[in-house]
Amino acid sequence: MNIILASTSTIYGSGYLEYLKKEIIELYKEIDEIIFIPYARPGGISHDEYTAKAQSFFETINIRAKGLHEFDNPIEAIKNAQGFFTGGGNTFVLVKQLHENNLMQVLKEEVLKGKSYLGCSAGSNIGGINMQTTNDMPIVYPSSFETMGLVPFNINPHFTDADAQSKHMGETRETRIKEFLSFNNIPVVGLREGSWIRIIDKRISLEGNLSAKIFKKDEEPYELRHNNEILF
């Protein structure tokens, strides 16, 4: 496998995908065209608008990006693609459309064959076992929460630690993940902004400059330092 699952597409003070540019060039080094999956529609933007945003970045590294929504037969488009990028947005919207179009399993099979895959935020959520550790509002109802299972755990992108100085009384990310683990025996990687998971063949590692918080059922969470292998 040849995969990047990133917490976010944009970090503070940087342009769209710019902080990952070196890694993206390496990910797609042997191809010149990818399929962009715009289904998550951040902020409700259209598929065309979202695709244009992705295209503007990929043009800078001489890669063509075609929106999956532009194809009459998206299943065949995925089967014939050289590589993929799934952008962030609302995971419920993304997963609903992938299942409705019978694309989740097809996409998984092509990635498992070795085709390069980049996911950011919602696009990373679907790399996990299911999407139930997303931070997004359930604005639509997918037929299944099951995702691709490219890694043997779930991901919580944009993971933030509790702020001891904050007066906010709502649940923290850690609280919500612990609630998930009270009903599910699936490890969760709390992926902080600017970090990503890199999968090359069977090796899964945490990359970037920050640690990730690892959650397991009936265990205390712990920190995994960057540039280390993720083992479960």
The residue extents of the domains of the chain are: 2-229
The strand pair at 116-120 and 2-6 is best described as: parallel
pLDDT value for 161: 82
Number of CB atoms found within 10 A of residue 160's CB: 13
Residues marked active site are found at 121, 136, 158
Question: What's the pLDDT at 169?
Answer: 60
Q: At what angle do helices 104-112 and 91-100 cross, to 10 degrees?
A: 90
212 phi, psi to nearest 5 deg: -115, 155
- pLDDT at site 167: 67
117: tokens are 């895959």
Coil, helix or strand at residue 25: helix
Structure pTM? 0.95
The CATH fold of domain 2-229 = Rossmann fold (3.40.50)
How much is the CA Rg of the chain, to the nearest whole Å? 17
Q: Please, what are the averages of pLDDT over each run of 10 residues along the chain (232 residues)?
A: 96 92 96 97 96 97 97 98 98 98 98 98 98 97 98 96 70 93 98 96 95 97 94 87
CB atoms within 10 A of CB 123: 27
